Amino acid sequence: MRWQYRDAGLLWLFVPAYVVHVAEEWFGGFPQWVRLMAGGPMPAAAFFAINGIALVLLVAGVRAAIRSDRHGWIAVTVATIALVNTGAHAAGAALTRSYSPGLISAVVLYVPLGSLAMIRALDQAPRAQLARGIAIGLILHALVFIVAFAFTTR
């Protein structure tokens, strides 16, 4: 079967998808848009620091998930974060009745990639890895929210 949930061809696609997503957020004005949700904008330095660290972790995580069965949960984590991020952008857009910078790339790139990886993982991943990957993905995305909101200036 082609497209295993840990397939290199699938997982490496998350990296350019992330870069496109961050570019849409930046050029769409996400750091300023955050004020609608958090009461103040996010400093550019915080935006780049958070996303730079996330990119390094994404590359390391993809590499680990591809190389070892025991790290397959990381593939599930990556898919979970992509799908949750899409939901967060959609919720933010709905709550503010405005465009949430990053929403388009999330829908166009994250939904298909995250869904394919998750559908495959639901079928192929050991249950413990599936549960671990989903839980860690939810926790990591929540931590990103907390850190991002902590850096907003009021």
Q: How far apart are alpha carbons 55 and 71 in whole angstroms? A: 18
How many independent structural domains does the chain possess?
Answer: 1
Assigned domain for 1 exists = no
Residue 114, in any domain of the structure: yes
Sequential pLDDT tens for the chain (154 residues): 567 889 999 999 999 999 999 999 999 999 999 999 888 999 999 999 999 999 999 999 999 999 999 999 999 999 999 999 999 999 999 999 999 999 999 999 999 999 999 999 999 999 999 999 999 999 999 999 999 888 887 6
What predicted TM-score, i.e. pTM, was given to this entire model? 0.95
Show the domain range for 105: 8-150
In a domain, residue 97? The reply is yes
Question: 83-109 in b/e burial notation, b at 16+ Cβ within 10 A?
Answer: bbbbebbeebbeeeeeebbbbebbeeb
CA 86 to each of CA 49, 67, 101, 126: distance values in angstroms, whole numbers, following the listed order: 21, 27, 11, 25
